[in-house]
């Protein structure tokens, strides 16, 4: 079982998320343990204060080191296993499917969700193992970012998805965007499903899907192609598409 703990000032935000849909089913199956903990409970003062004014002056308040260090230490297991401790912040590594796959190999993840102006730098320097940003924008807190990471990691765990191949063929898992999908009826409002998909010829279906995946990536995220090993035939496809656009 993978264990995921979230340190947050607003644990109620996670109640419905952890109980619904795929995450809820994974929790019920015992595949993943999900827990949100209010780190205000670990403040070392009578008012449970977790923030203070920054040294040197400036606007906003800064989260104190003590309650977050103490909260993390209470989550460590007696066997000495070291969890990945993840700080959600705009300065972190840009999140990717590859990072999700990496984190899915761990047994224990701890997420720290911040608010206010920022964190005491000693949290960043001496406690966390990873800093993650889900995009080049700023949220009011790390909770929504933590939910995104948790969801993307949990769905990769064995037994979470009904079809284990779903995660393997996802966009970005292969380095490419995913190919188009169709389902019944074969004709809807005069729009037909591509003939190859109802041909029953699995080799041709596989080739079509690869070609469509490459074309969609070429059209929407061409920078991803630099990281993908292409066959000579696939290189010819891309060359032909380039010529089409220039015609």
pLDDT in tens, 53-87: 999 998 889 999 999 999 999 999 888 889 999 99
DSSP of 204-231: HHHHHHHHHHHHHHHHH-GGGGGGS---
Q: Which residues have a catalytic role annotated? A: 90, 117, 155, 170
How confident is the model over 6-54, as pLDDT tens digits?
999 999 999 999 999 999 999 999 999 999 999 999 998 888 999 999 9
pTM for the model: 0.86
From CA 131, how far away is CA 124, in angstroms rounded? 8
Residue closest to 2 by CA, chosen among 45, 32, 43, 46: 32
- pLDDT over 70 at 167, yes or no: no
Residue 54 tokens, joined: 């920054």
């Amino acid at each position: 079982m993978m264990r995921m703990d979230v340190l947050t000032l607003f644990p109620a935000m996670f109640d419905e998320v952890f109980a619904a849909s795929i995450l809820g089913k994974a929790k019920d199956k015992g595949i993943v343990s999900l827990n949100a903990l209010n780190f205000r409970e670990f403040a070392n003062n009578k008012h449970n204060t977790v923030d203070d004014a920054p040294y040197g002056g400036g606007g906003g308040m800064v989260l104190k080191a003590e309650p977050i260090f103490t909260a993390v230490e209470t989550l460590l297991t007696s066997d000495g296993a070291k969890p990945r401790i993840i700080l959600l912040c705009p300065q972190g590594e840009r999140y990717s499917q590859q990072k999700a796959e990496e984190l899915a190999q761990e047994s224990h993840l701890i997420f720290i969700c911040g608010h206010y102006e920022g964190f005491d730098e000693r949290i960043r320097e001496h406690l966390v193992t990873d800093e993650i940003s889900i995009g080049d924008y700023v949220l009011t807190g790390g909770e929504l970012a933590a939910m995104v990471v948790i969801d993307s990691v949990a769905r990769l765990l064995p037994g979470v998805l009904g079809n284990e191949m779903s995660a393997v063929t996802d966009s970005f898992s292969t380095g490419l965007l995913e190919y188009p999908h169709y389902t019944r009826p074969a004709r809807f409002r005069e729009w037909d499903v591509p003939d190859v998909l109802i041909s029953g010829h699995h080799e041709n279906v596989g080739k079509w899907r690869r070609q469509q995946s490459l074309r969609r990536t070429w059209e929407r995220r061409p920078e991803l192609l630099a990281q993908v090993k292409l066959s000579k035939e696939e290189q010819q496809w891309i060359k032909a598409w380039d010529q089409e656009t220039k015609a």
